[in-house]
Structure 1
Amino acid sequence: MSTAASNNSPVDPDSDDVRSAPLPSDPESRAVKLEPFNKSEALSLGVELELQLVNTHDYDLAPYAEDMLRLMAQTPLPGSVVPEMTSSMIEISTDICHSAQDVITQLSPIREALIRNADKLNIAVVGGGTHAFQQWHERRIYDKPRFRELSELYGYLSKQFTIFGQHVHIGCPDADAALLMLHRMSRYIPHFIALSASSPFVQGQDTQFDSARLNSVFAFPLSGRAPFTLSWKEFEAYFERMTRTGVVRSMKDFYWDIRPKPEFGTIEIRVFDTPLTVERAAALAGYVQSLAAWFLQEQPFEPTEDDYLVYTYNRFQACRFGLDAVYVDPATGQHMPLRDHILMTMTQLEWHSEALNATQALGELRTSVESNRNDARWLREKQGKERLLAEVVRQAALRFRGQA
């Protein structure tokens, strides 16, 4: 990954690309060239986690991002800690990593600092893709130019975007290889959704989805899938055509499930719910890295536009049913349990995961799949026992601390 572009961090520090100037009236003058795809180390990793800040009175979201950021700035840590859309959220990220073990080595001290500073503020930090019972209209937009701009553009959707995801960056050897990997990864989007699903509750209701978070993402006009092209030159031409319309100014305006990040030399996978623990977040990163190694070293299949015939259906199935979903193989049209497809894929990846020191990471994920357990299942079981969502959030906060 490019270090010059990111101060040794492979994740986006959320720069203020604010649309303060009026758009030119001439479409030709609006066109923006896409920046070059920077060189990165193939299979290098970066992880971002969006986290909830809750009070310790009723475990609702609490607007303490600014205080938390101030305290976190006093401790030297890997990666970065930055604000997110609303003031009850923060985002943590790693520096460049080379394995799942590297990811947990970096996330662990960040977690410990978060816990220590949350205790000072009498709040708690929680994982999960949604807060179980917060009311979107009570949220405050974080006071930052880009967030204010997005709030003006998207209205109430910006407050409903108080949702929490994990993003995984994977280093690619060149621009064309990045697009090839992006479209190969697209077949495994249902895996990522089901394995990370942790958002069954929204505004106090069980949505019957394992990942309800993504329903909020899908409301944005530039969400969904990237256009099918395997040539960076063609992708640059697409980007220029989009900027000419005035709808897009930068790659940050695309809310695709996977998008290229040319400044880092990566692709960024964006469909994961934030897990309840940093250990599971690291394991998921190890799964992505093992898949990427398989793609690069064995070239197992050539993606085609027809892969996307069942893309939306597979994605919906994973969001709705998690590990109990049906998976439609885009190459053969065969229907099979998603759980079986995940286990079959993990078996195919064994040699690659061993070479990447990811055997333990994939083993932990495999065990959860075999026992039909993800974080959404854990949250529902707690609610079934407690019958009180505030208590579920409290126990999720303890789990983030490693105490549950």
Structure 2
Amino acid sequence: MTDIPTLGVEEEFLLVHPGSGAPVALNREVAARAADMDVELQLELTSCQVETATAVVDDTAHLREQLLHLRRTASAAAEHAGARLLAVGLPPTLPHEFPVTDTPRYRDIGERYGMIAHEQGICGCHVHVAVPDRDAAIAVSNRLRPWLPLLLALTANSAIYRNADTGHASWRSVLWARWPSAGPPPHFDSADEYDAAVQMLSHTGVIRDDGMVYWDVRPSANFPTVEVRVADVPATVDETVLFAALVRGCAMTALEDERHGDPVLPLAPYALKAAYWKAARNGVDGDGVDLENHVPAPVSDLLGYLTERTRPALEAAGDHELVTAGLARVTDLGNGATRQRRAWRRNHDVDDVLAEAAAATLEDG
């Protein structure tokens, strides 16, 4: 088994009014207060969002500590600014559009992409795993493509939107797919081929810059990592740690398979799209698509298979027990989308959803 790579996590959060639950344009105020508390928050495209980023860590225990600290600090900063911090993939209630954060880059994106940008409020989670070089990142990306729908199903956390049940566990992923460089990436034979594709998208004006390569797995533009971006921001810290541990296990397994020259699973575009749709629709409840055999299979069974497939890597990283316990908990209790629907169905009152999301955001075990 390969050496244990380091990892880091970015989480995006929504800022809402503590009474109405409507998104509020307070990201600068929240970031300024967090800076006073020695935590740097990043401003996102819309001014009702902030992003946290952990330091590079070696193990999931330290990752959990950092994630909990960052959520607590960001939540306290939001409260000081008159807002509430929520770990949700989309706002359960929202205005017709979101104000774009007032920076030159974000203003330009807002002008270029219109309502795609102005109907944003989308909150995801990105996991970075260290890799030897950019060609290794491309190899890992190719091998992770069949698992992306399952990782999406696991983290789905955007069932309630515009005061209604969307009928999907991850409506965020449906809206996110409108961007021209979002979703699963194509298979690339090398980093040079990847760079040529990005150059074409930029040269034709489809994307503004390489920071707009939003594919669900990609070589990082800024770090020696592969970045997995498929997830809704998970409801709880424990679910984020579970997701990160699985991503690292998948990346380590992919590197080992690449080292042994094992073939990459061929993926028909229609099959991958079908698996994505099922993942967005069902989350962890019901069936997904077994992409090796092109048949339906319970998501719980597919997650069990993924755990066994990555078991050597998970054991080497000391994460096998964490992952098996975490998956058992999600199978038993559900994920963020399950929580949202459970709260919604009590009274069909979005206030119940907001309260559930707020509690989950700061839940500690």
Normalised to the residue count of structure 1, the TM-score between the two structures is 0.83
Structure 1 residues 249 and 158: alpha-carbon distance in aligned structure 2, compared to 1, 3 A threshold: closer
Contact 1:49 1:274 in 2 (8 A): yes
Structure 1 residues 76 and 401: alpha-carbon distance in aligned structure 2, compared to 1, 3 A threshold: same
Q: Which amino acid aligns with 1:46?
A: G
1:180 and 2:144 are equivalent in the alignment: no
Aligned-pair RMSD on alpha carbons? 2.2
State the 1:262 CA deviation: 4.0
User: Hey, what's the Cα distance between the residues in 1 that align with 2:227 and 2:139?
Assistant: 13
1:46 and 2:8 are equivalent in the alignment: yes
Q: In structure 1, what is the equivalent of residue 45 of structure 2?
A: 85
State the 1:143 CA deviation: 0.9
Q: In structure 1, what is the equivalent of residue 90 of structure 2?
A: 130
Q: Among 167, 176, 179, which residue is 1:217 paired with? A: 176
Q: In structure 1, what is the equivalent of residue 359 of structure 2?
A: 398
State the 1:298 CA deviation: 4.4
Contact 2:68 2:362 in 1 (8 A): no
Q: Which amino acid aligns with 1:58?
A: S
Q: In structure 2, what is the equivalent of residue 94 of structure 1?
A: 54
State the 1:100 CA deviation: 2.0
State the 1:104 CA deviation: 1.2
How many positions carry a matched residue from both structures? 361
Unaligned segments of structure 2, at least 5 residues? none
- SS at structure 1 position matched to 2:230: strand
State the 1:309 CA deviation: 4.2
Q: Deviations over 1:272-294 (max 9, x none)?
A: 01111222112210110111122
1:344 and 2:305 are equivalent in the alignment: yes
Structure 1 residues 174 and 375: alpha-carbon distance in aligned structure 2, compared to 1, 3 A threshold: same
User: Hey, what's the Cα distance between the residues in 2 that align with 1:325 and 1:171?
Assistant: 33
Contact 1:167 1:269 in 2 (8 A): yes
1:317 and 2:278 are equivalent in the alignment: yes
User: Hey, what's the Cα distance between the residues in 2 that align with 1:115 and 1:106?
Assistant: 14
Q: In structure 1, what is the equivalent of residue 345 of structure 2?
A: 384
- SS at structure 2 position matched to 1:185: helix
User: Hey, what's the Cα distance between the residues in 1 that align with 2:324 and 2:180?
Assistant: 38
1:57 and 2:23 are equivalent in the alignment: no
Contact 2:181 2:214 in 1 (8 A): yes
User: Hey, what's the Cα distance between the residues in 2 that align with 1:225 and 1:352?
Assistant: 24
Unaligned segments of structure 1, at least 5 residues? 1-40
State the 1:181 CA deviation: 0.5
> Mean alpha-carbon deviation: is it higher for 143-152 or for 371-380?
371-380
1:75 and 2:37 are equivalent in the alignment: yes
Contact 2:180 2:206 in 1 (8 A): no
Structure 1 residues 234 and 58: alpha-carbon distance in aligned structure 2, compared to 1, 3 A threshold: closer
**Larger-gyration structure (1/2):** 1
Structure 1 residues 125 and 248: alpha-carbon distance in aligned structure 2, compared to 1, 3 A threshold: closer
- SS at structure 1 position matched to 2:267: helix
Q: In structure 2, what is the equivalent of residue 370 of structure 1?
A: 331
State the 1:354 CA deviation: 2.5
Q: Which amino acid aligns with 2:342?
A: E
User: Hey, what's the Cα distance between the residues in 2 that align with 1:88 and 1:232?
Assistant: 35
Contact 2:15 2:48 in 1 (8 A): yes
1:162 and 2:99 are equivalent in the alignment: no
1:98-113 equivalences in 2 (<5 Å): 98-113=58-73
Q: In structure 2, what is the equivalent of residue 279 of structure 1?
A: 238
User: Hey, what's the Cα distance between the residues in 2 that align with 1:388 and 1:306?
Assistant: 42
User: Hey, what's the Cα distance between the residues in 1 that align with 2:71 and 2:208?
Assistant: 34
Structure 1 residues 159 and 264: alpha-carbon distance in aligned structure 2, compared to 1, 3 A threshold: same
State the 1:246 CA deviation: 4.0
State the 1:372 CA deviation: 6.2
- SS at structure 2 position matched to 1:68: helix
Q: Which amino acid aligns with 2:146?
A: R
State the 1:233 CA deviation: 2.6
Q: Deviations over 1:155-188 (max 9, x none)?
A: 1221211111111112111222211110111111
1:10-25 equivalences in 2 (<5 Å): none
1:239 and 2:198 are equivalent in the alignment: yes
State the 1:245 CA deviation: 3.0
Structure 1 residues 125 and 265: alpha-carbon distance in aligned structure 2, compared to 1, 3 A threshold: same
Structure 1 residues 74 and 146: alpha-carbon distance in aligned structure 2, compared to 1, 3 A threshold: same
Q: In structure 1, what is the equivalent of residue 214 of structure 2?
A: 255
State the 1:403 CA deviation: 7.5
User: Hey, what's the Cα distance between the residues in 2 that align with 1:99 and 1:310?
Assistant: 35
Q: In structure 2, what is the equivalent of residue 31 of structure 1?
A: none
State the 1:84 CA deviation: 0.9
Contact 2:170 2:232 in 1 (8 A): yes
Q: Among 289, 299, 322, which residue is 1:361 paired with? A: 322
- SS at structure 1 position matched to 2:188: coil
Contact 2:339 2:356 in 1 (8 A): no
Contact 1:251 1:261 in 2 (8 A): no
Q: In structure 2, what is the equivalent of residue 17 of structure 1?
A: none
> Mean alpha-carbon deviation: is it higher for 114-123 or for 144-153?
114-123
User: Hey, what's the Cα distance between the residues in 2 that align with 1:199 and 1:174?
Assistant: 34
1:226 and 2:185 are equivalent in the alignment: yes
Structure 1 residues 296 and 398: alpha-carbon distance in aligned structure 2, compared to 1, 3 A threshold: same
Contact 1:64 1:88 in 2 (8 A): yes
Normalised to the residue count of structure 2, the TM-score between the two structures is 0.91
State the 1:296 CA deviation: 2.0
Give every structure 1 segment of 4 or more consecutive aligned residues whose post-TM-superposition deviation is greater than 4 Å.
298-301
User: Hey, what's the Cα distance between the residues in 2 that align with 1:325 and 1:246?
Assistant: 40
